[in-house]
Amino acid sequence: MARPTGRTQSRYVCQACGESFLRWEGQCRNCAAWNTLVETLVREPGPAARRASRPAAAAGAEPVALRSIADADVPRLGVGIGELDRVLGGGIVPGSIVLIGGEPGIGKSTLLLQAAAGLAGTAGTHVLYATGEESAAQVRLRAGRLGLLDGPAGDGIRVVAESDVGRVVELARAGRPALVVVDSVQTATVAELDGAAGSVGQVRESALRLMELAKGDGIAVVLVGHVTKDGTLAGPKTLEHLVDAVLELAGDRYASLRLVRATKNRFGSTEEIGVFEMGERGLDEVADPGRAFLVEHDDPAPGSVVAPVLEGTRALLVEVQGLVAPAGYGTPMRKASGVDANRLALLVAVLGRRAGVGLGSHDVHANLAGGLAVNEPGLDLPLALALASSFRDRPIAPGTVAVGEVGLLGELRAVAGIERRLREAARLGFRRAIVPRSPRGGRGGPAPGSAGLDIVEVGTLRDAVRASLAETD
């Protein structure tokens, strides 16, 4: 295959200290770390490659006063999926490189095929879909299931089952698509490297080559990366600083809701989320995300309370569930799903010491409905109340939401964006909110727009437990 301009050599680079060696060794001779040497291509770039990798900094660029820099309106390629375009900041930027990560089977290929179809529907654009994971026939099968074959996508998406990045780059330079999708970066390989597909060296070098394509030729590139829950497949993680945007597709594989978040975005905010539902015909945008994570109950059940959480600028209402049961023998269990396990352990301790809810000899399970995972302090209070409710076997009155951070002394602390949270709760028909007492000097009174919501301000977890469990029969 054609070598890129410049001389290419392979070196073994220590991932801990950055020292490079000619040969692989088990231990780095510089920093003594074990198993950190990874084969890496070292290039002395020729002039062409140097220009390609640094398009903005042409040789001899002069500094320009901030004010006099032309306001370049970044052009966007809309993918025709509102929720995804929003997370991207208005669409994909030509010449940018985006990494989309998620667990295997979560729906990355589905989402990208739908996005590619949306883009291919625009006049004169086509998409190169390079798949190293599936055959072209399998991609066609999925497209058929998504109903994309007869639309403009049938012609506008060009599929190639190819994992050699050099070849993908050649095809892209020849065909000039608006977007190249590489599914996945873990199957992509560079012919000059020996390492197996998925090794850190291969993943990095593949991404670098595709970045040169993006920046040099103005073609947008989307990389798919598999990430496991515990982050053991670390390959894509090492790419995060290279790419322009990192999107994360999350959710419970066995439930239907999916969340797209941007964890990095050079062309937009990382505050937006997109909510989708996996259905028979791929991922559908959810019409009312605020309501998506709520569960309908016929009867109020002990151990459940709804929390208005903030995901970016959006308030979502999510049901927090707790189950407390006497432990059989040995150390009692603490199981958390969708919430932080350390936080759960801490809340169990605070409940026991400060709120008179002793769970020391009980198994404790906590869960967020809908497969959502949330890591924010505002979840403390609803989580603690769900556990107290389950322990006392008394339901919290239906129509109640709770939000707030719990301190080690059992005191409650205010959380950011309380107005937005309560407004959403009011909009969805909730009637009562248990919230931390507003800090002295802070803005008291009900949040604007939360009319109809009875706001119960409490100072401590003990009071919150009393307030939430007292009024039920």
Binder among 40, 110, 321, 400 for ligand TYD (CB under 6 A): 110
Residues 353 and 385: their CA atoms lie apart, in Å, by 15
Cβ atoms 312, 261 nearer than 8 A: yes
> Does 104 engage in binding with ligand TYD (CB under 6 A)?
yes
> Does 109 engage in binding with Mg ion (CB under 5 A)?
yes
Query: Per the structure block, which two tokens stand in for 398?
Result: 């239906």
103 CB contacts (<8 Å, ≥6 apart)? 226, 227, 228, 229, 250, 253
Binding mask 65-104 for Mg ion (x = CB under 5 A): ----------------------------------------
> Does 144 engage in binding with ligand TYD (CB under 6 A)?
no
Nearer to ligand TYD, 284 or 463 (CB): 284
Other C-beta atoms lying within 10 Å of the C-beta of residue 437: 18
Binding mask 264-303 for ligand TYD (x = CB under 6 A): --------------x-xxx---------------------
Cis omega (within 30 of 0) for bond into 10: no
Query: In the complex, what is the shortest distance from the CB of residue 113 to ligand TYD, in angstroms, rounded to a whole number?
Result: 8
Q: How far from chain centre, in Å, is Cα 419?
A: 25
Query: Of 317, 309, 308, nearest to 286 (Cα)?
Result: 317
Nearer to ligand TYD, 146 or 357 (CB): 146
Considering CB distances under 5 to 8 angstroms, the limit depending on partner class, which of ligand TYD, Mg ion, none binds residue 378?
none
Query: In the complex, what is the shortest distance from the CB of residue 165 to ligand TYD, in angstroms, rounded to a whole number?
Result: 19
Residues between 236 and 295 that touch Mg ion (CB under 5 A): none
Residue 2 class from Cβ within 10 Å (0-12 exposed, 13-18 middle, 19+ buried)?
Answer: exposed
Query: In the complex, what is the shortest distance from the CB of residue 273 to ligand TYD, in angstroms, rounded to a whole number?
Result: 18
> Does 140 engage in binding with ligand TYD (CB under 6 A)?
no
Q: Answer left, alpha or beta for residue 110, where phi above 0 means left and psi between -120 and 50 means alpha.
A: alpha
Binder among 50, 51, 140, 145 for ligand TYD (CB under 6 A): 145
The SS3 assignment for 65 reads coil
Nearer to ligand TYD, 99 or 364 (CB): 99
By CB under 6 A, name the binding residues for ligand TYD: 102, 104-110, 142, 145-146, 278, 280-282
